[in-house]
Structure 1
Amino acid sequence: MSPMRHLHLDPSKRQPLLKDQESPNEAPKSVPVSKVFTHPKGSSNDEDASIYFIGTATTVIEWEGIRILTDPNFLHAGDHVHLGPGVTAQRKTNPAVDLHELPSLDCILLSHYHEDHFDQLVEKSLNREFNIISTPHAKDCLTTKAEPFKAVRDLDFFDSMMLHVDGGGHTNAGGYGKVRVIKVTGTPGKHVPPGPLSIANDLLHAVPPTNGWLLELGHSYKAPTGGDPESIETGYRIYISGDTLLVDELKEIPQRLGRENIDLMLVHLGGTTILGRSMPLLMVTMDAEQGLKLMQLMDPDVTIPIHFDDYDAFLSPLSDFKKKVDEGGWKERVVYLDRGEQYRFKVRGK
């Protein structure tokens, strides 16, 4: 495990998201929300954070003005992506917003370097100085281009990075500052099942390695002189599965958490199935059955399915997942978002 790394995010000093933006102030102030959901058990009307679903695995996670974009994919219905040697997929839906319609952001969380998560439009348009957190493989790809990305940080499985939220929101007590932080931890993901197919993929590099993510939103204390913060007082915990199958490596996540709970899980579904010249028919993301088993393994308070119907390679429809959830008795712990809808929640300990 690598030493803890740190990244300071200051909403007053954001980088423009796009190359052709001179200032982040040119961006819209917010996203257009068509419908808002809160906890299935009810709301206290004090929510201070949200998840906005754009489409595929693309979301905006916001907490008191800090905004993180996940897996940016802004292609439209009819557009194609390249998923491996001889493998393409066609998009069936439109995103809730286009790339240039996003508000100013602080960083991108990229689960892996695949065109349905980081499309050619995004790659062409993004400011090369913008903060990106991803896998070691994605960092190698993004930083060795003719026009390289210059602010890519990589996290391997169970490596962590502390995002310090600067520019306000601090309180002082006993000579110490209470600082908002988001701890980002890379979690295991396996796009290809173990065995001969995994060995073949290692040789062919057809499907890239992938991460999931654990986000711990909360506060930490540090001395006024600016020393490293102590352990985070977590007020909300989000697990994002990434494009993974239900593999044994995922069991280590709840084992490491111990008695700590997951408040929200974003699960990538779709049962993505590819067929190409160099690979046999292969499912590379969880289908409905695996999605339910992941809920049983992680036991999150709330689950939101994403990445379920945007491409023609997604062969496990959301209706199958809903049926499994209802049959398994988990109906009251799932929120279903359509593109353009938002889930709001409260980070404890403010």
Structure 2
Amino acid sequence: MGDRARPVILTHVGGPTVLIELGGWRLLTDPTFDPAGGHYAFGWGTSSDKVVGPALSSTELPDLDAVLLSHDHHGDNLDRAGRALLPAVPTVLTTRSGARRLALQGVRGLRAGERTVLRVADRAPLEVTATAARHGPPLSRPIAGAVVGFLLRCDGTTVWVTGDTVLHGALRRFARDLRVDVLVVHVGGVQFGLTGPVRYTLTGSRAMELVGLALPKVAVPVHYEGWSHFVDGPAGLAAAIADAPADVRDRVRRLPIGTPIKL
């Protein structure tokens, strides 16, 4: 971290679910708290099985200020137990279409590039900007649906959560122009037999390419374990990290599941 940057504490609950503590704010990404064993349909004949449960239950979380929900329509990003958590959270930030579907008090829908500021009396404001994400190949949005990432800025510290995305032009340009302390990057290389070789999220190697573009102080990969549709899972990520240039590899930190880590 730079001299002005505040510490960031991350607790990887499992899958895409991360508790982010920054400047007194407590934020939760993509709540997934169902136990292992469920089968989830994603639409258009695609589906996946949850094979690992969360490290923490939703009742073990501290009081939350906001949920950062990259998208609401896939069960590996918002499951039944995660959905039940939302009404108790003061603010839920998600896509415009997701906000309409959720229809909750406190939900705010954002398009890529739009920003909002969270304020409370006892801490620095938290600026949240929705970032571009594409959950599949070109022209896949009508099938995969809208997704956003989140760029967080608070008192000199910047955290970027990519959301589920592949590497595409807008993401490359954004990463090149960004100065970020902590990058939380969704990986897994999602693939379905029905759609052949098409990928719906970053593989390990593409994630390392993104890290090389953004050059964060710390890069934390998430959402690469616990589900059957992660074709490029822990082994693929480990191989990609090992093959990455030293300047990229040295920035990557894989977090233990369920343990708060100060970065």
Same structural fold, with TM-score higher than 0.5 when normalized by the shorter chain: yes
Q: 1:264 aligns with which of 173, 179, 182?
A: 182
TM-score w.r.t. length of structure 1: 0.69
Q: 1:63 aligns with which of 22, 26, 32?
A: 22
> Where do residues 139-154 of structure 1 align in structure 2 (5 Å cutoff)?
139-143=99-103, 149-154=104-109
How many residues of Structure 1 are paired with residues of Structure 2 in the alignment? 258
Partner of 2:116: 161
Work out which of the two has the higher radius of gyration on C-alpha atoms and give 1 or 2: 1
Distance 2:92 2:190 in 1: 25
Contact 1:136 1:154 in 2 (8 A): yes
Give SS of 1:118's match.
coil
Partner of 1:340: 258
Over residues 145-166 of structure 1, what are the superposed CA-to-partner deviations in whole Å (9 max), with x where a residue is unaligned?
A: xxxx122101111111111232
Contact 2:31 2:83 in 1 (8 A): no
Give the aligned CA root-mean-square deviation in angstroms.
Answer: 2.2
Q: 2:161 aligns with which of 240, 247, 268?
A: 240
Contact 2:86 2:92 in 1 (8 A): no
Partner of 2:44: 85
Alpha-carbon spacing, 1:70–1:326, altered in 2? closer, same or farther (3 Å): same
Partner of 2:133: 189
2:165 maps to 1:217: no
Instruction: Extract structure 1 runs of 4+ deviating beyond 3 A.
Output: 46-49, 254-257, 279-282
Distance 1:250 1:125 in 2: 30
Contact 1:53 1:341 in 2 (8 A): yes
Distance 1:263 1:246 in 2: 20
Distance 1:157 1:244 in 2: 13
TM-score w.r.t. length of structure 2: 0.90
Alpha-carbon spacing, 1:109–1:129, altered in 2? closer, same or farther (3 Å): closer
Distance 2:45 2:83 in 1: 21
Q: 1:309 aligns with which of 219, 225, 230?
A: 225
Distance 1:125 1:70 in 2: 12
Partner of 2:172: 251
Over residues 297-325 of structure 1, what are the superposed CA-to-partner deviations in whole Å (9 max), with x where a residue is unaligned?
A: 11111111100011000010223223222
Q: Identity of paired residues, percent? A: 28
Q: 1:116 aligns with which of 60, 76, 88?
A: 76
